């Protein structure tokens, strides 16, 4: 019962649903998700941890970078992912997909043999007057 509660709590947030929808097409690096969702790396990592703790995503380290994919290890999770794919319309995800495609297009070397500098364009900076850091993505 606790596992089920954890899964539904993880899926009760719009940002996490957006991340799940992005991951339906395959594995992504954190920098891809940051670029697509247009949020700071720390916020994305927070949401990914909740999804991982609920058993909905798996991660793997590749050098310095973490890559995430959906955990489709059992039928229940697969059915949840199918339900999300059906209910979250592509039109609602258009902005995320456009940002992701622009980010990927700016880095063709990554998909032609995984570049060593996967997240090199994601950098942190402090915003003057604020007590937090944001991640920015430098596109060509």
Q: 2-137: which CATH architecture? A: Orthogonal Bundle (1.10)
Query: Taking the model in full, what pTM does it have?
Result: 0.75
Domain boundary assignment for the chain: 2-137
Contact 127, 39 (CB under 8 A): no
Write the pLDDT tens digit of every residue in 118-134.
554 443 333 333 333 33
Write the pLDDT tens digit of every residue in 13-45.
999 999 999 999 899 999 999 999 999 999 999
């Amino acid at each position: 019962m606790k596992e089920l509660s954890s899964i539904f709590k993880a899926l009760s947030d719009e940002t996490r649903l957006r991340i799940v929808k992005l991951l339906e097409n395959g594995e992504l690096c954190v920098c891809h998700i940051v670029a697509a969702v247009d949020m700071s790396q720390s916020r994305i990592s927070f949401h990914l941890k909740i999804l991982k703790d609920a058993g909905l995503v798996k991660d793997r380290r590749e050098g310095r970078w973490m890559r995430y994919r959906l955990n489709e290890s059992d039928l229940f999770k697969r059915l949840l992912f199918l339900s999300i794919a059906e209910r979250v319309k592509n039109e609602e995800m258009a902005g995320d997909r456009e940002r992701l495609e622009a980010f990927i297009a700016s880095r063709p070397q990554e998909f032609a043999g995984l570049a060593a500098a996967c997240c090199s364009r994601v950098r942190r900076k402090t915003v003057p007057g604020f007590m937090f850091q944001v991640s920015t993505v430098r596109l060509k």
